[in-house]
Amino acid sequence: MSESILLGAVAYDPKVVTIWEGIREYFRAEGVDLDFALFSNYERQVATLLAGHIDIAWNTPLGHVRVQRRTEGRARSLGMRDTDRDFHAKIVVRRDAGIRTLADLPGKILAVGSRDSTQARILPLHFLRKEGVALDRVQLLPFDTDLGKHGDTGASELDVLRALADGRAHAGAVGDLVWINEQSAGRIDPQLVDVLYTTPGFDHCMFDALPSLSEAKVEAFQRALFAMRWEEPAHRRLLELEGLREWMPPREEGYDSLRRALEETAEW
């Protein structure tokens, strides 16, 4: 068994316990002594990683870019889900709101998710600004649900979709994951709403580690992680719960837009 690795994750849902108990068991069967600590919010998890009390943090994009910034880019990124690559946000509109293009948004009500949600607030607003939308003339209807969870619960996105469905908003910002899932599940009325705009792609969650994490731990963690297989029944259950089919190597370029958005709004 390798030296013990302590991983931090945020308990945004009871299933997080199931996921990490399962992954811990799998890692141990692979000879990697992994344990985990659960946090109620990403701010505490990031602080704990930076203080060196945990080895690895399973971070949202917002957590990730903050770790990168506070370590001046020296933190190590260890891996991400396939679904974390090329995430998009959508601007969805009511068909009866008379919004044909982004230029029609001023004067309308735009529902947005939690202020710490990358996909339902930070980046959609950033990209609308880049597209030249006069956001000061758009009335925002914010849903600051589950703050600290960085949008993981998807609750604020469901709030946005509800506001659209019942007419409290003309338009709304959601991540494509929630938008596609809700459509696949038949919970969206296509007669009532339509998608107007898709943002450029950005990357989502990442396993972050301090630069001081030993090479042996990095190697052990990545070896076990990347050996998980969708076709393997025991793995598949965990991968399904965590929302991926395949773990992918890390990459940094997918976070540039988020960094710029945080610079613009000085919300670091």
Binding site for other proteins (CB under 8 A): 82-83, 86, 88, 90, 176-177, 179-180, 182-184, 186-188, 190-191, 194-195, 197-198, 230-233, 235-237, 245-246
What span, in angstroms and rounded, lies between the C-alpha atoms of 118 and 17? 24
Single-letter amino acid, residue 151: G
In whole angstroms, the minimum distance from the beta carbon of 188 to other proteins comes to: 4
Residue 24 or 235 with smaller CB distance to other proteins: 235
Return the sign of the alpha-carbon dihedral for residues 28, 31, 33, 38: negative
In whole angstroms, the minimum distance from the beta carbon of 1 to other proteins comes to: 26
Phi, psi for residue 180 in degrees, rounded to 5: -70, -40
Residue 230 or 268 with smaller CB distance to other proteins: 230
Residue 67 or 128 with smaller CB distance to other proteins: 128
Tokens at 78, concatenated? 């260890």
Strands, sheet with 139-142, edge to edge from the N-terminal-most edge strand: 139-142, 109-112, 171-175, 89-94, 193-198
In whole angstroms, the minimum distance from the beta carbon of 112 to other proteins comes to: 18
Task: Identify the burial level of 198 via C-beta atoms within 10 angstroms of its C-beta, where 0-12 means exposed, 13-18 middle and 19 or more buried.
Answer: middle
Q: Where are the beta strands (DSSP E) in 95-245?
A: 109-112, 139-142, 171-175, 193-198, 206-209
In whole angstroms, the minimum distance from the beta carbon of 227 to other proteins comes to: 15
In whole angstroms, the minimum distance from the beta carbon of 190 to other proteins comes to: 4
Q: How many CB atoms lie within 10 A of CB 79?
A: 18
Residue 53 or 237 with smaller CB distance to other proteins: 237
Residue 90 or 121 with smaller CB distance to other proteins: 90
Residue 67 or 171 with smaller CB distance to other proteins: 171
What span, in angstroms and rounded, lies between the C-alpha atoms of 115 and 156? 10
- 3-state DSSP assignment of residue 44: helix
In whole angstroms, the minimum distance from the beta carbon of 246 to other proteins comes to: 8
